Amino acid sequence: MEKINDRLLNWASILEDNTRQQAERTASMPFIWPHLALMPDAHLGMGATVGSVIPTEGAIIPAAVGVDIGCGMMAVRTQFTASDLAGRDLAVLHDQISRSVPLSAGHNNKSVRETAAPRVGELRAMPGANQADGAVHAWPLQLGSLGSGNHFIEVSLDEADRVWLFLHSGSRGVGNKLAQKHIKVAQEQCRRRHIQLPDRDLAYLVEGEPEFDAYIEALRWAQRFAYLNREEMMDRVVDQTGRFLGTEVERVEVINCHHNYTEREKHFGREVWLSRKGAISAREGQWGLIPGSMGTASYVVVGKGNVPSLMSSPHGAGRNFSRSAARKRFARKDLDARMAGIAWGHSDAFLDEHPDAYKPIDQVMADADDLVEVRHTLRQIVNVKGD
User: Using CA of residue 126, residue 183, residue 62, residue 232, what is the dihedral sign?
Assistant: positive
How far apart CA 386 and CA 350 sit, in angstroms, is 9
The beta-strand segments (E) located in 121-170 are 152-157, 162-169
Q: How far apart are CA 376 and CA 54, in angstroms?
A: 28
The closest alpha carbon to 100, from 109, 90, 91, 88, belongs to: 109
Cα dist from 265 to 215, 296, 378, whole Å: 18, 33, 31
Tell me the Cα Rg of the chain: 20
Cα of first residue to Cα of last residue in the chain, in angstroms, is 37
- CA separation, residue 238 to residues 114, 157, 160, 163, 246 (Å): 15, 15, 20, 11, 12
At 181, is the secondary structure helix, strand, or coil?
Answer: helix
**Nearby residues of 3 by Cβ (< 8 Å), 6 or more positions away:** 9, 10
Long-range contacts of residues 150-153, Cβ cutoff 8 Å, at least 24 apart: 150/293, 150/316, 150/353, 151/385, 151/386, 152/291, 152/294, 152/383, 152/384, 152/385, 153/97, 153/101, 153/233, 153/237, 153/382, 153/383, 153/384, 153/385
Q: Three-state SS for 55?
A: strand
Can you tell me the distance from the alpha carbon of 320 to that of 318, in angstroms, rounded to the nearest whole number?
7
Residue 285: exposure state from Cβ atoms within 10 A (0-12, 13-18, ≥19): exposed
Q: Identify whether 43 is a catalytic site residue.
A: no
Residues 22 and 10: their CA atoms lie apart, in Å, by 13
Whole-number Å distance between alpha carbons of 45 and 47: 6
Of the candidates 151, 315, 354, 376, the residue annotated as catalytic is: 315
| Residues with active-site annotation | 315
